[in-house]
Amino acid sequence: MAATPTTKVLVSTFLSFFFFLFHGASPAPVASVRGLSEEGDSSALLAFKSAVSDDPKGVLAGWGGSPDACNWTGVACDPVTRRVVQLVLREQKLSGELSSALGNLSHLRVLNLSGNLFAGSVPPELGSLSRLKFLDVSSNTLAGTVPPELGNLSRLSSLDLSGNAFAGPVPRALGKLSRLKQLSLADNQFQGSIPLELTRVRSLEYLNLGANNLSGPIPAAIFCNLSALQYIDMSSNNLDGEIPIRPDCLLPNLTFLVLWSNNLVGGIPPALANSTKLRWLLLESNFLGGELPSDGMFGGMRNLELLYLSFNYFRSPRNNTDLQPFFASLTNCTGLRELGVAGNDLPGTIPPVVGRLSPGLRQLHLEFNSPQPLP
């Protein structure tokens, strides 16, 4: 009954030729090459729909009504090939499982099912979506381990699995995603150490591993080899060891460094001074120690807004009596809004230089430090 794929290819080739003749090199108007969606795509979408067990808003109710899947809610097609290139159904309260038939949408570039109630696991078949650039299944109730097949998505630019119940290790295969710019695995139950393979993803700008159960040290190569990083969040895990930023490891674009609630030891690495775009440095609730940073560390960080060092073991110079150098080192940070050094066993004296800190400083946390010794 329907045209065979071969006929459709011929028709669309004919149309392209026709438009080429009459319009030269100018782009053909979208509507003029309209045809039906590809049958394989429609059947994959219907299989996806049949694995949805509840659709309280009825977003998928019209699916299958029109023979052209390109007209279905949440679906977008390439205007010329009529292949499905986007499936975006965000925050629709859909529940059920993710059908493995999604892996048949071979022209898909964007898959966004964020903010639904999908359960079950991620089908390994998604790994065959070789054109996929954006994959977002964040904020669902997906579980299980992440299939290593996702490492085959060689064009992927953004992968967001955050806010689910994924467990097991962070798959080493993600290190094959050589074009990845954004990776969020936050707010799951990933365990084990941060795989060294991730340091192969040189394009990475955004890395969020926060709120998992990761342990072991932070691989030095994350800070040393991923120089495009702008955002690093590894907070609320069980990571230990030092913050591994060596003087030869430059993170010139680092803007957010969020490592609070871990078991990190050592000091704030002096080489961080080179990350002059830093806006958030959130290191509270670790076992960091040594002298609070003083001259040089923050001098170039004119955009610093949040500096959280509370609940660590920082000390001040002169046998922990002098907070002046630390506060003085922050006088160039004219955008500083919140500064926390509570709970560090520091002396309670507030040096006059505090009056020269950023006029926008809204919060200064000094509580739970040792009381000022009597003179």
Count the neighbouring beta carbons within 10 Å of the beta carbon of residue 276: 16
Which residue's Cβ has the minimum distance to ligand NAG? Answer: 299
Separation of alpha carbons 275 and 301, rounded Å = 8
Site for ligand NAG in 190-209 (CB under 6 A): 191, 196, 199-200
Are 288 and 268 a contacting pair, CB within 8 Å? yes
Residue whose structure tokens are 């992927």: 156
Q: Look up residue 360 and give its two tokens.
A: 């926008």
Q: Quick one: 17 or 370, whose CB is closer to ligand NAG?
A: 370
Q: Quick one: 74 or 338, whose CB is closer to ligand NAG?
A: 74
Q: Quick one: 151 or 340, whose CB is closer to ligand NAG?
A: 151
Are 185 and 166 a contacting pair, CB within 8 Å? yes
Q: Does the protein bind ligand NAG through residue 243 (CB under 6 A)?
A: no
For the four alpha carbons of 353, 356, 358 and 360, in that order, the dihedral sign comes to: positive
Span of 17-25, 60-68, 254-262, 363-371 interacting with ligand NAG by CB under 6 A: 60-68
Interface residue with ligand NAG, options 152, 237, 312, 358 (CB under 6 A) = 152
Per-residue DSSP letter, 80 = T
Separation of alpha carbons 349 and 324, rounded Å = 9
Span of 55-63, 79-87, 110-118, 348-356 interacting with ligand NAG by CB under 6 A: 110-118
Q: Which of 246, 372, 273, 255 lies closest to 316, judged by CA?
A: 372
SS3 of 132-155: the string is CCEEECCCCCCEECCCHHHHHCCC
Q: Does the protein bind ligand NAG through residue 215 (CB under 6 A)?
A: yes
Interface residue with ligand NAG, options 56, 270, 290, 360 (CB under 6 A) = 270
| CB neighbour class for 268 (10 Å; exposed up to 12, middle 13-18, buried from 19) | buried
Q: Does the protein bind ligand NAG through residue 50 (CB under 6 A)?
A: no
Q: Does the protein bind ligand NAG through residue 134 (CB under 6 A)?
A: yes
Backbone angles phi, psi at 206, to 5 degrees: -130, 120
Q: Does the protein bind ligand NAG through residue 299 (CB under 6 A)?
A: yes
Site for ligand NAG in 8-47 (CB under 6 A): 40, 43-44, 47
Measured at the CA of 187, the angle between CA 185 and CA 189, to 5 degrees, comes to: 85
Q: Does the protein bind ligand NAG through residue 247 (CB under 6 A)?
A: yes
Span of 8-16, 79-87, 150-158, 362-370 interacting with ligand NAG by CB under 6 A: 150-158
Separation of alpha carbons 326 and 310, rounded Å = 14
Separation of alpha carbons 26 and 229, rounded Å = 40
Q: Quick one: 20 or 43, whose CB is closer to ligand NAG?
A: 43
Interface residue with ligand NAG, options 92, 116, 140, 158 (CB under 6 A) = 158
Q: Which of 373, 374, 338, 375 lies closest to 358, judged by CA?
A: 338
Q: Find the shortest distance in angstroms from Cβ 346 to ligand NAG.
A: 12
Q: Quick one: 84 or 342, whose CB is closer to ligand NAG?
A: 84
Interface residue with ligand NAG, options 123, 127, 340, 347 (CB under 6 A) = 127
The residues of the shown chain that bind ligand NAG, judged by CB under 6 A, are: 40, 43-44, 47, 66-68, 71, 90-91, 101, 104, 112, 114-115, 127, 134, 136, 148-149, 151-152, 158, 173, 189, 191, 196, 199-200, 213, 215, 221, 224-225, 227-228, 247, 250, 252-253, 270-271, 273-274, 299, 319, 328-329, 331-332
